[in-house]
Amino acid sequence: MTAKLMQRQLTRRQILGMAALQTAATLGFTRIGLQSAQAAEPEAVESAPAIVVGSGYGAAVAALRLGQAGIRTLVLEMGRLWNTNGPDGKVFCSTGAPDQRSMWFRTRTEAPLATFLWLDVVNKDISPYPGALDRVHYDHMSVYVGRGVGGGSLVNGGMAVTPLQSYFAEQFPTVDTAEMYGTYFPRARSMLGVNTVDPAWFESTEWYRFTRISRQHASKAGLKTTFVPSVYDFGYMQREAAGTATKSALAGEVIYGNNHGKRSLDKTYLASALGTGNVTLHTLERVKSISRAADGTYVLAVDRIDETGTVVETKEYGCRYLFLGGGSVGTTELLVRARESGTLPALDSSVGTGWGTNGNVMLGRANHLWDTVGANQSTMPVMGIDDWANTANPVFAEIAPLPTGLEHWVSLYLAITKNPERASFSYDNATGAVKLGWSAAQSAVSVGMAKKLFDRINRANTTIYRYDLFGSGNKVFADDFTYHPLGGCVLGKATDDYGRVKGYARLYVTDGSLVPGSIGVNPFVTITALAERTMARVLVEDTAP
């Protein structure tokens, strides 16, 4: 699709919203609404009928649908707005040359791939700043999340996959799957701007040689591969390859943000939400706690921080309707703290349970010298090895890029395994910290499943694993982090079947914490579709005068 065509397909609301975001960024506003489009920062708001916490997928859907329903809505996001150029003339820094924009208040980057040839050449010292990617550490598991207006959409790989209908039904037995697959998944895909790579271009371009090699190796082991759609604009990518557009996916940009090509939420749902004129967004404001006033409204205690991380103001907001979209760990931490510290004591005992990693494991294989993967690799994955139907060992493995600019003969994968292990969050009264009870043994289950699949691929191709990518200890399987945190406030358990939190009226969860620990594919399309379903129901049933 050409830029002009895309422009024509943007709605008036999206264009207005994008103008507001652009002006707010240029002028350094941390409050954004339609007024920003006229270069005026919106008035500070102390209360709104509806508040949305976070600005990732679940939150963005809630904000748009509330705004369209004419309900004045405030969105509180702890990260910054990513819309202004740094000194290098770019909004985001690249994965290969990270600076302070890369990570959330760190002195050194913490990339998933820690080493190359066992050398500490990947991570770099940086100065603390509200960067786009965070790695939240728990005892045996760390969770990568996006920070900023757009949440995970800023940093993710754009893979926009709809789960297998039968597995969705298994995970969500009380949800009408026909309605999900007939209405909400198509709505989510269309709103997110999902598109697919042109197969002919894929087969011929040097940028996906790494994928074709992995496909060949999988096929030799009798395994099938499947194309996966994306929210990265493949028309743009083809122009990058042709040299007529500024490179982003073809310039190593992804986990610290893409400067072009990616349809992140600030360009889709959130732009449209702001364009309704009913939605205001506050950035660099972190919700610390939630309680309820005597009249049944919700009270949020919020820290406003500056770009050094210093708390410059502590504020309280009130609202009648509260939508939690802080992501699986963000929302779950808020609700576990609220229940255990007594501010929302009637929350269900299942809040904080049912959390999983979507079975994530990352690994690399060493190819033969003649099986080159290419020095040029697109950062946007477009294919997975699909062995989910193998009931003895279900795995869906995304063929991941490793764009170093040099031939390295590494095939990299992010395996999604059907690991049944789940963990719970607990609250430490002394420190107020929320902890995750995930153990190393639980990760070992994912590793066992990934290993079975990739042992098979290695056997068929007489290849071996790479031992040099995940630290100094010859680690083959990176099982101590996840890109896909899911659960903690599971649909139908901590909430009713539409995300209404049990025990409290007009309190909703709309994000990845609703998904019970596994969905078998990359999760953001599912999160978006479930949020669409929640909002369709809630706006009809709960907001009637």
Number of residues that bind ligand FAE (CB under 6 A): 39
**In this structure, what DSSP letter does residue 118 have?**
T
Quote the radius of gyration of the chain (alpha carbons, Å): 22
Closest approach, Cβ 422 to ligand FAE, in A, equals 17
Q: Judged by CB under 6 A, does residue 527 bind ligand FAE?
A: yes
- Between CA 31 and CA 40 the distance in angstroms is 10
Question: Which distant-in-sequence residues (6+ apart) come within 8 Å of 99 by Cβ?
Answer: 86, 93, 124, 126
Closest CA relative to residue 521, chosen from 388, 365, 355, 379? 388
CB 424 within 8 A of CB 437: yes
Q: Smaller CB distance to ligand FAE: residue 135 or 456?
A: 135
Closest CA relative to residue 82, chosen from 229, 292, 258? 258
Choosing from 285, 398, 421, 532, the catalytic residue is 398
Closest approach, Cβ 180 to ligand FAE, in A, equals 16
Q: Judged by CB under 6 A, does residue 152 bind ligand FAE?
A: yes
Strand order in the sheet with 481-482: 133-137, 142-146, 481-482
Over the window 482 to 511, marking each residue x when it contacts ligand FAE by CB under 6 A and - when it does not, the resulting string is -xx--------------------------x
- The amino acid at residue 345 is P
Candidate residues 98, 130, 131, 151; the one interacting with ligand FAE per rule CB under 6 A = 151
Q: Judged by CB under 6 A, does residue 524 bind ligand FAE?
A: yes
Q: Judged by CB under 6 A, does residue 384 bind ligand FAE?
A: no
Block residue for tokens 């493949």: 234
Q: Judged by CB under 6 A, does residue 76 bind ligand FAE?
A: yes
- Candidate ranges 121-129, 176-184, 315-323, 328-336; the one touching ligand FAE (CB under 6 A): 328-336
Candidate residues 67, 325, 364, 488; the one interacting with ligand FAE per rule CB under 6 A = 325
- Between CA 356 and CA 544 the distance in angstroms is 36
Q: Judged by CB under 6 A, does residue 357 bind ligand FAE?
A: no
Catalytic residue list contains 398: yes
Q: Judged by CB under 6 A, does residue 478 bind ligand FAE?
A: no
Choosing from 217, 282, 408, 484, the catalytic residue is 484
Q: Judged by CB under 6 A, does residue 56 bind ligand FAE?
A: yes
∠337-338-339 over CA atoms, to 5°? 95
10 Å CB burial of residue 386 (0-12, 13-18, 19+) is buried
Closest approach, Cβ 488 to ligand FAE, in A, equals 10
Residues facing residue 145 across a β-bridge: 134
Q: Judged by CB under 6 A, does residue 101 bind ligand FAE?
A: no
Q: Which of residues 236-295 bind ligand FAE (CB under 6 A)?
A: 255, 286-287
Closest CA relative to residue 109, chosen from 123, 119, 120, 122? 123
Q: Judged by CB under 6 A, does residue 17 bind ligand FAE?
A: no
Catalytic residue list contains 110: no
∠474-476-480 over CA atoms, to 5°? 100
Per CB under 6 A, residues contacting ligand FAE are 53-59, 76-79, 144-147, 151-152, 155-159, 255, 286-287, 325-328, 330, 334, 483-484, 511-512, 522-524, 527
Known catalytic residues are 398, 484
